[in-house]
Amino acid sequence: MTPILYAVLALLISVNVLLGLPKAVDLIQTQVSAKNTAEAPKIAGVEKRILMPKGHGIFAPTFTASAVIAKDIDSDTLLFVKDPDKRVPIASTTKIMTALVALDYFKPNDVLTAFDLSQAGGSSMGLKTGEQLSFRAILYGMLLNSGNDAAYTIAENYPGGISGFIDAMNNKALSLGLSNTHFDNPAGFDSPNHFSSANDLGKIAETAMNNYQFARVVSTKETEVSSLDKSMIHPLKNLNKLLDDPGVLGIKTGTTPAAKENLVGLLERNGHKILTVVLGSDDRFKETKELTDWVFINFTWE
């Protein structure tokens, strides 16, 4: 091969190498980027990392309440307990279970009729005998005003009436594995055969808060509902005073002479949801606030 041909061939090889450099550089950069991407946490299809609460030994407040729990929802960890399995009267926190059973059966626009309201004394949403409302309206009246008339109207319209509804409440308790719970009325009136525990009521509350319709209702501060014919307007206001506090998501109050003051609450703060159950208290709102404040003073998550 002549020197001229060698020179031409060498020139062609050099040009091809130079032309290939950008592709080679691109390939190297692509490989580096791919490596970095692979090391980054994936979002789709990967479960949320659960942070565990770590206590720092700060003493909890003392409570007049007879039974108390505080629970970190994400890690399923009890942060505080006081007689968590003690059977106690639970007043209108009963209506959390009433709502659960009703939501399993009724649709929002189902029409319910207020029949015999003679058993439904105490707190009320103001129903009149014979009045017809949607199930959605009745649910708001039961969970905001804690209407006993609403609870009994739901039970009366259930298959089998009040007795059928109470059976369904107890069957629901069995299905949730609750060993310290029994119901004999849908409103929460005091009775030797009507009781639950802080642990059991916490499980009922967690189940209920997984239902979007329930969670929306118990987070509502006030609203109004009407009868189907618009002849009756019912202004409703939530009895849970803590809804005015940042991060409070609900859920239900209750008071009777035997049960004293009760509050099941859910608070989200700093990305953590804390469920509280305070039963048999002299001051449910104060003690619930003290409990949740202590949780975030005493625990960090890692």
* Active site residue ranges: 92, 95, 146
Q: Which residues make beta-bridge pairs with 53?
A: 301
- How far apart CA 158 and CA 110 sit, in angstroms, is 11
- How far apart CA 173 and CA 158 sit, in angstroms, is 17
3 state DSSP class of 35: helix
Q: Strands (DSSP E) along the chain, which ranges?
A: 53-55, 67-72, 77-82, 111-113, 132-134, 222-226, 233-237, 248-256, 260-269, 272-281, 299-301
Residues of 90-102 as b/e, b for ≥16 C-beta within 10 angstroms?
Answer: bbbbbbbbbbbbb
Closest CA to 65 of 276, 296, 241, 275: 276
Residues of 105-133 as b/e, b for ≥16 C-beta within 10 angstroms?
Answer: ebeeeeebebeebebbeebbbebeeebeb
Residue 262 backbone dihedrals phi, psi, to 5 degrees: -135, 145
135-143 helix and 148-156 helix, angle to the nearest 10 degrees: 140
Question: Which structure tokens are listed for 6?
Answer: 């060698």
Query: What is the DSSP code string of 92-158?
Result: GGHHHHHHHHHHHH--TT-EEE----TT--SS-----TT-EEEHHHHHHHHHTS--HHHHHHHHHTS
